[in-house]
Amino acid sequence: MKKILILIMITAMLFVTACAKKNDVIVDPPNNVPENALNNEEEKVTKEEPVMAPDFELEDLEGNMVKLSSLQGKKVIINFWATWCGFCVEEMPDLMKLQEEYKDDLVVLYVNVGESKEDVLKFVEKEKITGTILLDTKQQVAATYGVRNFPSTIALNEKGEVVTGRVGKLEYEMMVQMYEMIK
């Protein structure tokens, strides 16, 4: 009985502290609709102000510095992940497939959060992960973006504006929908 309780507690802790749930909330830019606009009988349409993605510069696995603002003109998907996150590992093949499918105008950035270069290199070689893998060893970029759960994915348009995002594991079809939302 004691072993079963310990197993249940460990499982619960993993769900709370490790990866986000599979279909958590979509994160959209803030809506600039005035509160009282919803109370009026007449429907008012307001235009949302674009939210610029905070710029950052991180090292990739080859030692090159990659700056987000240098990717303007391309659609960008930023995926925050960790090697210990099961959902992150599960969605990576689909992210690589998405990158390959839309390679002409899409860049997928895999931002590893809080792990050493050596650990990430071992993982990438073992799992045969390809793509632009960036190291946020001090977790500063993740903090700037408000990332608390893994995986977290954010889509940016060619101007560097946040279009949409999702916390939790994405299936390939969801990734394609996210890509198609980028205008």
Q: Which residues contact 16 (CB under 8 A, 6 or more apart)?
A: none
88 part of the active site = yes
- Of residues 150, 182, 111, the one with CA closest to residue 24: 150
What is the C-alpha to C-alpha distance for residues 66 and 16, in angstroms, rounded to an integer?
32
Residue of 53, 68, 78, 88 with catalytic role: 88
Interior angle at CA 23, CA 21 and CA 27, nearest 5? 105
DSSP state of 36: G
Q: Is 19 a catalytic residue?
A: no
Q: From the candidates 66, 85, 134, 178, which is the catalytic residue?
A: 85
Active site residues: 85, 88
